[in-house]
Amino acid sequence: TPTNTPVPPPNPSANITWPPPIYVLHGSFAVRGTANLPNMTTFFLEYRPLNEFGDVPDESFPWIPATLPNPSAVVDDVLGTWDTTILPDGAYEMRLTINVAGSTPVNVIVKPLRIENAPPPFAITPTAGANGPVLPTIASPNATQAPLQPTPTAFDPTPRGEVIVPSGNVRSGDGVNYDIVGTVLIGDSVRVLASSATGSGWWQVQLDNGRTGWVAPSLIRISGNVSGLPRVQPPPPPATPTPTYTPTPISQANMIINRISLDPSEPRCDQTFTITVRIQNVGTTATNSDGILSLQDAHVNSGNITATTVGGFPVLQPGQQFDVIMRLTVNTFFDETHRLTAFVDANNTIIETNDNDNFASLEYNLRKAGC
C-alpha cells in the first residue's frame, strides 16, 4: 500500500511568500518573503522559462538575474522587484538564492508562475490584495448603472523615457564629469526633449518637477518617435582640476566588454533570441561592488530604440571574466540592419580607472520570420 510522504513546512528563515505557485503576473511587482539565515552574505532572485508542461526544457538552461545581490537580511518583507514587462508571456519559475559563508547556497523555488502582460480580451486577471489575490467585482445584469462619461485628455506627443535601473543621476551635461542636478528611480518616466549634438548618445530630459538635465542612454527605455527631436549642444564641460602628484599610483578596477554573441546568429523578427555579453575586469583591483549591464537594440537607419533589457554581474577580481546572458525580442524593422549596444556598469556604481571603454556594439540583420 503506497504511503503519502508529508510535505516539509517552509523554512521560516528562507522562503518566498508572494507570489504563490500557479499565479498570473504582469507588470513590475514586489516579491515578498524572508532571507535571514545565520552567516548569510547575500541573497538575490532569479528566473527562467518553463515549457507548456511546466518543466524546464533543458536543465542546463541558465538562471537569469531578476535582482542584484543584497547583503541585508529581510524578514517577511520585500525581497526585490521583478519587472516582467521585458519578458515574453508564458510559464516561468522563480528562485531565491541565499549565499551562506562557509556553506553551500540555499535555494527556494516557486513554480509555475505565468507572465501575462497581454491577456486575451476575455481574461479576468486577479490583482494582489492585502490577504491574497482579489478578483474584480462583476455587477449584476439587472443592476442600473450610470453610463461612463469619457474624460478628455490632452495628447502629448513628446517621447518618454522609462528608467530601467534601480537609480540614476540626471546631470547638467552629457557626461559623468558634469554636476548632478537630480536623480531618478526605476519605473520613473521622464519627457525626452532632445539628443546630444556631440554624438555621445545622451538624452536631454525633463523631470516631473520641470527641471531639465541629461541622462545616459543606458538609464532609460525610450517610447515614442525620437526621429524628429532636435540635436542640442550641451553646455561646456566643467574645468578639469589640475591633478595632484601621487607618489604611489592608485590601482583600481576597469570593466570592459570583450565579446557580444547571438543565438541564433541571425535573429528572427518577433522571436526571442539570446545575447551573451562577455565582460572582464582588466584593472589591478577587484570591483568595489556588483553591477548592472544594460542592452539596447536600435534600428540603424532611423535611430529608433526597438527593445531594451538588463542583466547583472557579481564582484569581479582582477583579470576575471563573466558572461552576462540576456534574452530579447525585436518585432519591428525586419530585413533591415539593427545595432545592439551593451553598457557595462550602467548605474555607475563601480569605481574605475576609465569609464570611456564601458560599451560595445554589434550590428545584425533582423530576418522577417513570422512578422
For residues 224 and 68, what is the distance between their CA atoms, to the nearest angstrom?
29
CB atoms within 10 A of CB 181: 15
Residue 26 confidence (pLDDT): 83
133/22 Cα distance (integer angstroms): 12
CA atoms within 13 A on the CB side of 165: 25
Instruction: Pick the range with the lowest mean pLDDT from 12-26, 95-109, 134-148, 199-213.
Output: 134-148
Is 70 within 8 Å of 81 (Cβ atoms)? Answer: no
**Which residue, 94, 43, 40, is CA-closest to 68?**
43
pLDDT, tens digit (0-9, with 9 covering 90-100), for 41-74: 999 999 988 887 777 777 667 888 888 888 899 9
Of 72, 75, 65, 66, nearest to 11 by C-alpha is 75
* Distance (Å, whole) CA 252 – CA 285: 5
pLDDT at residue 128, rounded to an integer: 46
Residue 271's CB is within 10 A of a number of other CB atoms, namely 16
Q: Quick one: pLDDT at residue 150?
A: 45
- Which of helix, strand or coil describes residue 86? helix
Are the C-beta atoms of residues 136 and 317 closer than 8 Å to each other? no
pLDDT digits (tens, 9 = 90+) for 219-262: 999 988 888 889 999 999 887 766 665 555 455 899 999 999 99
Q: Name the grid cell of 7.
A: 510535505
pLDDT tens-digit readout, 301-329: 888 889 999 999 999 999 999 999 999 99
Per-residue confidence (pLDDT) for residue 246, from 0 to 100: 56
**What would the mean pLDDT of 182-195 be, rounded to a whole number?**
91
Position 140 confidence tier, pLDDT thresholds 50, 70, 90: very low
22 or 263: whose pLDDT is higher? 263
Of the listed ranges 130-144, 160-174, 303-317, 352-366, the one predicted with least confidence? 130-144
Q: What is the pLDDT of residue 245?
A: 57
Q: What pLDDT, on a 0 to 100 scale, did the predictor assign at position 21?
A: 87
- State the alpha helices, DSSP H only, in 139-297: none
